[in-house]
Structure 1
């Protein structure tokens, strides 16, 4: 079972796609969001959740005070689940316009528009190659606001992500088979 852990929509149960996704565990999300709150990175933030799956990361950020969330998911099934979860969270928060679900591949989404984000979650499938991830991160970086944060979730056996010029890993934390890397402008 996946749920919103804390904030205005805390304890709300989220649906999870029946296949093709790997939801971030409650333990990892609780630790991640505790760190983000300590860094004051959530209040009023524009959030992007790439490879959103159920949308749990972006929706948790909204529950804890982010202003907007874009959930990007290529899979039609997962995007439908994310849309259903977004509607549930919007109802709990009382603000429908703050959440947008985009059914499109991450790189195609980043190639369009001019939206800028304060906080970005990048949780691609573990089988996404490191070179492909590096391309996505290079497309993402110009869309990150000053002092913006990118949180990258990968298998612990994966190497540290290759970041484009101007970005650096500021911290990392391992949780069993999962590692989170925080990337920021230098």
Structure 2
């Protein structure tokens, strides 16, 4: 895994190794990440990354949030309570030397504390098929984590319906990964 573009382009990220099967750690593949960011930056959504506050729920290695930082996001909050994920996130943040622009919340993404500031861009990549995505979004809204008009990028094994308070924008498929784009109403 590596950072695809931006100020840290080509930087190799920490190796997942055997990962954490119990925590369903499955990083977004470089090609999927590249295609996803190309779609986001392709004009239809303006430039949702530049200067954005980013929330990465079920962050795993932190690759999605860190890619956004490399491409111009101002701050990223990585949320993951896994032991292996925590180690990988710390390694990747140190490799990029962005500790001052990253917050790592070691908590359950479905039970978030109150936010200091809302995010403009949210990555949501829960363990597939467990119904955690809607719960995490509800927790993020309740905690003030998602700004009105924020773009949500939801990875799952199937396209996801937009929950109440969100409007669907697009759905894309990358192999076994389905990405649903939606916007928070407001």
Query: Shorter-chain TM-score: which interval?
Result: 0.7 to 0.9
| Residue 70 of structure 1, aligned match among 73, 77, 80 | 77
| 1:176 shift after superposition | 1.1
1:31-180 matches, within 5 Å, as 31-38=35-42, 39-90=46-97, 95-108=98-111, 110-129=112-131, 132-141=132-141, 142-155=144-157, 158=158, 160-180=159-179
- Unpaired stretches in structure 1, ≥5 consecutive residues: none
**CA separation in 2, counterparts of 1:72 and 1:16?**
19
Task: Indicate conservation of the 8 Å contact 2:81/2:107, yes or no.
Answer: yes
**CA separation in 2, counterparts of 1:99 and 1:24?**
19
78-87 or 58-67, which moves further after superposition?
A: 78-87
Q: Could you state the TM-score of these two structures normalised by the residue count of structure 2?
A: 0.87
Task: Indicate conservation of the 8 Å contact 1:138/1:163, yes or no.
Answer: no
RMSD (Å), alpha carbons: 1.6
Give every structure 1 segment of 4 or more consecutive aligned residues whose post-TM-superposition deviation is greater than 4 Å: none
| 1:164 shift after superposition | 3.0
| 1:162 shift after superposition | 4.1
- SS of the aligned residue for 2:120 comes to strand
Q: Which has the higher helix share?
A: 1
Task: Indicate conservation of the 8 Å contact 1:23/1:53, yes or no.
Answer: yes
**CA separation in 2, counterparts of 1:121 and 1:167?**
14
- The aligned counterpart of 2:34 is 30
**CA separation in 1, counterparts of 2:99 and 2:124?**
24
Task: Indicate conservation of the 8 Å contact 1:16/1:53, yes or no.
Answer: no
Task: Indicate conservation of the 8 Å contact 1:16/1:54, yes or no.
Answer: no
Residues paired across the two proteins, number: 175
| 1:25 shift after superposition | 1.0
**CA separation in 2, counterparts of 1:162 and 1:36?**
19
Q: 1:100 to 1:48 in 2, by over 3 A?
A: same
